[in-house]
Amino acid sequence: MSFTNKKIIAGNWKMNGLKNEAWQLTNDLLSKFESPDQKLQFEMIICPPATLLSEVVSMVDGSPIKVGAQNCSDKLNGAYTGEISPTMIKDIGAQFVILGHSERRSYYGETNEIVSQKAFSALSQGLTPIICIGETLEQKENGSALAVIEDQFTNSIPEGASIENIIIAYEPVWAIGTGKVATLQDIIDIHTKIREVSEKKLGSRNISILYGGSVKPSNAKDIFSLQDVDGVLVGGASLNADDFWNIAMES
């Protein structure tokens, strides 16, 4: 799946949203579209919690909005209590899955190898992984950001991946939920590095790269102005239909 001609606007709801709230937010988003077949310059993906996936998929059926999960197991089925497999996510009707988010890496100990295994399983079921990479503030300040990015990309990308079937999300850890945003030059430098590593790993620079980290309507236009930004992964602002839509319209 390639999105080279359109910007990708992905919303990560994280652990937010009860049934009524999800119904309201999704309906508010759907009301923004003039018609189900409206031609837009962007692809919109929303990633609600697992408890809401099935309902949101049903709500957006026939609309331009696509749905993704926030995580999955590397196993397809079996005695893994509490896990959700990519087979189950696919069966619900979702098409994407966020993997390797910094919160998963830092809070739950997910390594590059674990992310790679999960992405391999997701690909085997026809899901498109949105693989997150990004440096911490300490890594940025000690000058190792580019090396960290190369290591995470190289070792989080599974066998069978290509520029057509995965999406990369660059999220500087220090900018997630903090209100801090990487400078435009920071984004250029890291996205350029990602493309260089992609060429070595996958044979092409033309991979879809999203920027994530305190993206808001007020800074979206500047971020989208950068040639190497193919879209955004939005956290908090994706919980407000007006903000999320206004970000998309800046693309």
- pLDDT, tens only, 93-107: 999 999 999 999 999
Instruction: Name the pLDDT band for 80 (thresholds 50, 70, 90).
Output: very high
In a domain, residue 70? The reply is yes
- Please enumerate, as own/partner, the contacts of 198-207 that have beta carbons within 8 Å and a separation of 24 or more: 198/153, 198/163, 198/168, 200/154, 201/153, 201/154, 201/157, 202/157, 202/161, 202/162, 202/163, 204/163, 206/4, 206/163, 207/163, 207/166, 207/167, 207/168
Count of structural domains within the chain: 1
Contact 42, 248 (CB under 8 A): yes
Neighbouring residues of 122: CB distance < 8 A, sequence distance ≥ 6: 72, 86, 89, 97, 99, 128, 129
Rg (CA), the chain: 17
**For residue 1, is it within any domain?**
no
Tell me which residue has tokens 């399983």: 121
- Whether 138 is in a domain gets the answer yes
Residue 57 lies in a domain: yes
Q: What size, in residues, is the chain?
A: 251
Each residue of 208-250: pLDDT tens digit?
999 998 899 999 999 999 999 999 999 999 999 999 999 999 9
Which residue, 82, 88, 194, 77, is CA-closest to 132?
A: 194
Q: Which residues of 33-51 are buried (b: 16+ CB within 10 A; e: fewer)?
A: eeeeeeeeebbbbbbbbbe
Domain assignment present for 30: yes
Contact 50, 12 (CB under 8 A): no
Q: What is the pLDDT of residue 3?
A: 53
Query: pLDDT at position 35, please?
Result: 75
Cα atoms in the 13 Å half-sphere on the side-chain side of 110: 25
**How many angstroms separate the CA atoms of 157 and 140, rounded?**
22
Q: What is residue 4's predicted lDDT score, i.e. its pLDDT?
A: 53
Residues forming the active site: 101, 171
pLDDT category of residue 2 using cuts at 50, 70 and 90: very low
pLDDT category of residue 125 using cuts at 50, 70 and 90: very high
User: Nearest CA to 46 among 93, 10, 1?
Assistant: 10
Residue 59: pLDDT over 80: yes
Mean pLDDT of the region 157-175: 95
Residue-number span of the structural domain to which 61 is assigned = 7-249
Tell me, yes or no, whether 47 lies in a domain: yes
Per-position b or e across 72-104, b if 16+ CB within 10 A of its CB: bbbeeeeeeeeebbbbbbbebebbbbbbbbbbb
The structure's pTM equals 0.96
Count the neighbouring beta carbons within 10 Å of the beta carbon of residue 238: 27
CATH of the domain at 73: 3.20.20.70
Q: CB–CB of 135/145 below 8 Å?
A: yes
* 93, two tokens: 């009707």
In the block, residue with structure tokens 């992984």 = 129
Residue 243 domain-assigned (yes or no): yes
- Residue 2 in any domain: the answer is no
